[in-house]
Amino acid sequence: MNILVCISRVPDTATRILVGPDGKTIDTQGIKYVISPYDEYGIEEALRLKEKNGGTVTAVTVGNESSTDILRTALAMCVDKAVHIKADEKKDSFFVAKNLAEYAKEMNPDLIFMGRQSVDYDSLQMPSMVSEFLGLPSVSVVSKLTIVDGKATAERDVEGGKEIVEVSLPCIISCQKGLNEPRYPKLPDIMKAKSKPIEAREAIQTEEKVTVMSMAIPSKQRIGKLLGDGDGDVEELVRLLHEEAKII
Ligand SMILES: Cc1cc2nc3c(=O)[nH]c(=O)nc-3n(C[C@H](O)[C@H](O)[C@H](O)COP(=O)(O)OP(=O)(O)OC[C@H]3O[C@@H](n4cnc5c(N)ncnc54)[C@H](O)[C@@H]3O)c2cc1C
């Protein structure tokens, strides 16, 4: 089984994000980047399927030159091949999806793993767009997966419950927390990954469909008020509800 895993390079979730001077992008100074956490579930699931059934696992990312760092991490986790589609500026989801789909057409994988969303821009558009470009079924937010006889049975998290769906391969699976516990790369594999080849490809240019007009950090101004639990506080609560909130 040949599996493609699409991985996105995002700021470490512990990073304090600031808006850049243009007011439309984030300030990238001092940011530590990682593989988007949902994509790690994709890598892990692909590796487990390969360990069970044989085949290959390819990791692909679209991004600037620095994106090779996450491909090295994927190689250290023991994917077989890493592909870097070079795009030097921040692009919209349509551009990235088109490029991922073009690579997938060429590779013709049995299965494509993506994260349920990338934890930077949180667009949640990529799996649906790639599936539309490829004409493949797509199952989103998958927290359990079984593959038997060319069919995938996937458990999806839906509001207040689970949904079980079945699709035939090839298909796209977008991964949710709980699917597995991603492995940590071992030191010898990290060392080996440093000298492994990364296939570089030029991106196909497309028009951008979405333009970011502005970006802002939400105000941290506290609008709640804390009262105590004394008798006087009840009176104060009534007064506030009446005079300030004007709801009684
Ligand atoms: C600071 C910064 C700089 C960036 N610079 C560039 C750049 O120079 N060139 C460029 O092309 N992009 C760049 N990007 C990435 C690009 O903006 C996003 O990848 C793209 O907008 C998709 O994000 P999304 O929220 O739509 O993804 P979602 O739809 O939320 O992502 C869902 C899944 O799609 C897959 N996916 C998402 N993005 C990628 C990707 N880039 N490669 C492979 N798989 C992916 C992952 O599996 C992900 O879990 C940059 C992002 C940041 C934060």
User: Does position 223 have pLDDT exceeding 90, yes or no?
Assistant: no
Mean pLDDT of the chain: 94
pLDDT at 15: 87
Contact 185, 192 (CB under 8 A): no
CATH domain 2-202 topology: Rossmann fold (3.40.50)
67 ligand 1 Cβ < 6 A: no
Nearest alpha carbon, ligand 1 atom 34: 126
Give, for ligand 1, the residue of 117, 121, 201 to mutate: max count of ligand atoms closer than 8 Å to Cβ.
121
Domain boundary assignment for the chain? 2-202
pLDDT band for 144, please (50, 70, 90 cuts). very high
Per-residue pLDDT of 14-55, as tens digits, reads: 888 889 999 998 898 989 999 999 999 999 999 999 999 999
pLDDT at 41: 98
Q: What percent of the chain has pLDDT over 90?
A: 78
Closest CA to 4 of 53, 45, 63: 45
Nearest alpha carbon, ligand 1 atom 19: 8
Cβ-proximal residues to 142 (8 Å cutoff; 6+ apart), any chain: 116, 154, 155, 156, 173, 174, 175, 176, 179
114 ligand 1 Cβ < 6 A: yes
- Between 12 and 231, where is the model more confident? 12
pLDDT at 179: 97
Q: Which residue type, as a one-letter code, is found at position 33? A: Y
**Stretch 155-183: mean pLDDT:** 95
Distance CA 127, CA 174 (A): 7
Token pair for 127: 């799996």
pLDDT at 220: 76
28 ligand 1 Cβ < 6 A: yes
pLDDT at 221: 74
Query: Which atom of ligand 1 lies closest to the CA of 60?
Result: 43
How much distance in Å is there from the Cα of 9 to the middle of ligand 1?
7
SS3 202: strand
User: Does position 123 have pLDDT exceeding 80, yes or no?
Assistant: yes
Cβ-proximal residues to 151 (8 Å cutoff; 6+ apart), any chain: 166, 167, 168, 169
- Rounded to the nearest 5 percent, the helix, strand and coil shares of the chain are 30, 25, 45
How much distance in Å is there from the Cα of 118 to the middle of ligand 1?
7
- CA trace torsion 25, 30, 33, 37 (10° rounding): -80
Contact 188, 75 (CB under 8 A): no
**Stretch 160-177: mean pLDDT:** 96
Distance CA 121, CA 118 (A): 6
